[in-house]
Amino acid sequence: MVAVAILAAGRGTRMKSDLPKVLHSLGGRSLVECALNSCLLVNPKKRLVIVGYQAERVKQALTHFDKIEFVEQTEQLGTGHAIQQLLPHLEGYTGDLLVLNGDVPLLRPETLEKLIATHKEHQNAATLLTAQLPNPQGYGRVFCDGKNRVKQIVEHRDCTDAQKQNRRVNAGVYCFNWEKLATVLPKLEAENDQQEYYLTDVVKYLKPVMAVDVEDYREITGINDRKQLAAAHDILQMRVKDAWMAAGVTMIDPDSITIDDTVQLEADVILEPQTHLRGNTVIASGSRIGPGSLIENSRIAENVTVLYSVVTDSEVEAGTRIGPYAHLRGHVKVGEACRIGNFVELKKTTLGQKTNVAHLSYLGDATLGSGVNIGAGTITANYDGVNKHPTHIGNNSKTGSNSVLVAPVSLGESVTIAAGSIITEDVPDRALAIARSRQSIKKGWRLKNK
């Protein structure tokens, strides 16, 4: 039986940010979400998140996780003090407690599974994850005997120069026998450089405590400042991109591409340079994205191309071509085999199949049928300064260049709008609407004036 506790009450002073450290994001998730996700395989009986600094904001960010118990640490007096707050919440609990620092986001679920297995196998009082770091600066150093039994953990700032030479660091990931931990938690003292109650000091009172080295030290990267956040970003990007390439995604110049950990791709997607995929984006097989495109929270079906364009909160069906230089600004649904061309902006707009908006248009709050052709420079005037109004365009209709459709307005099926028209009234099926002044010719006009 395992319960999980995540330490997320600290401010994260070294981030120099108004945002609590654990809410800084990495690959599309907050750091604390990453920590929670790393427990997926552990299947915990209880999930406790210790909150303190801007507690409401942290709780709010986790509302989509169910079965989380929040524990308040009103004053942040150290990681040991944080765990002391669990005492009333885990009264009578007899299982193990997995403790994770909320600022260690790259742990693999398999690593935690293994840590717990080792802990149980050896019936340890505590088992902690360690790593040999090439640059251990800032981490607590772990001192063991020849059998990996932990004697002491000393924080970087409390280390002597000789102790700093030890590259074996504490990952901030522990499995405890809760009953044993609970009896020693009250013994912690704040006798250190920071005058904080350190969780790491419990190893002095517990026996046996075992250290287990992680296979890949990059997994335990802790985030204390922006530089470490950037380093973690690089590690995660490499991990995410390697996995998608192994699954059949082509990347041209992968170093210039970024993909959130939350994105889903199919085999035979091609990603061109300078492409960025964010949030809950899903891209189907055969689609080619980029160069120079940003897709956020959007679903792209098969064989779509998106060239130098931005697509946000939208859906694009199979075979459609987007760009160069198009902007799908949100709540846009584009049907199959459409064309959205250069300098076209779409917002809250639905297009049927084989509909083209090929050049220099803005369509907002509009519904277009299938086989529609929107002429260059057509604009929906959807906003009267106070309210937004809808535009409807029926199947197989065409608008001439530089038409303005003043909403609310509805064009029937197979309508034709003459170029340069300003349409303020509904147009019935199959009609031609011309709404501009007629051209007049004054013959010999220049001569007469002279």
Q: Count Cα atoms within 13 angstroms, Cβ side, for 167.
A: 5
- Pick the catalytic residue: 89, 156, 359, 392? 359
Q: Using CB distances below 5 to 8 A depending on partner kind, what does residue 8 bind out of Mg ion, ligand UD1, none?
A: ligand UD1
Q: Is the dihedral of CA 227, 229, 234, 235 positive or negative?
A: positive
Give the E-state strand segments of 178-331 in sequence order: 209-213, 250-251, 258-259, 264-265, 270-271, 276-278, 282-283, 288-289, 294-296, 299-300, 305-306, 310-312, 314-316, 321-322, 326-328
CA-derived radius of gyration, the chain: 30
Beta carbons of 1 and 94 less than 8 angstroms apart: yes
Q: Per CB under 6 A, does 148 bind ligand UD1?
A: no
Q: Per CB under 6 A, does 84 bind ligand UD1?
A: no
Q: Per CB under 5 A, does 76 bind Mg ion?
A: no
- 327 has catalytic annotation: no
The residue (of 56 and 425) whose beta carbon lies closer to ligand UD1 is: 56
168-177 and 126-132 beta bridge pairing? antiparallel
- From candidates 200, 287, 355, 382, binder to ligand UD1 by CB under 6 A: 200
d(CA 269, CA 250): 6
d(CA 146, CA 166): 14
Give the E-state strand segments of 184-226 in sequence order: 209-213
The residue (of 32 and 269) whose beta carbon lies closer to Mg ion is: 32
Burial 316-347 (b: 16+ CB within 10 A, else e): bbbbbbbbeebbbbbbbbbbbbbbbbbebbbb
* Minimum distance from residue 279 beta carbon to ligand UD1 (Å): 24
Q: Per CB under 6 A, does 295 bind ligand UD1?
A: no
Q: Per CB under 5 A, does 78 bind Mg ion?
A: no
- From candidates 34, 48, 62, 77, binder to ligand UD1 by CB under 6 A: 77
Q: Per CB under 6 A, does 319 bind ligand UD1?
A: no
Site mask, ligand UD1, residues 207-236, x = CB under 6 A? ---------------x-x------------
CA 302, 303, 304: angle at the middle one, nearest 5?
95
- From candidates 5, 10, 24, 62, binder to ligand UD1 by CB under 6 A: 10
Q: Per CB under 5 A, does 103 bind Mg ion?
A: yes
- From candidates 172, 319, 323, 369, binder to ligand UD1 by CB under 6 A: 172
Q: Per CB under 6 A, does 76 bind ligand UD1?
A: yes
**What is the residue whose two structure tokens read 């990495």?**
26
d(CA 135, CA 114): 25
Q: Per CB under 5 A, does 136 bind Mg ion?
A: no
* Minimum distance from residue 259 beta carbon to Mg ion (Å): 26
Residue 158, classed as helix, strand or coil, is: helix
Q: Per CB under 5 A, does 152 bind Mg ion?
A: no
Q: Per CB under 6 A, does 155 bind ligand UD1?
A: yes
Give residues in contact with ligand UD1 (CB under 6 A).
Answer: 7-10, 21-22, 50, 52, 73, 76-79, 81-82, 101-104, 139-140, 153, 155, 169-172, 198-200, 222, 224
Give residues in contact with Mg ion (CB under 5 A).
Answer: 103, 222, 224
- Supply the residues annotated as catalytic: 359
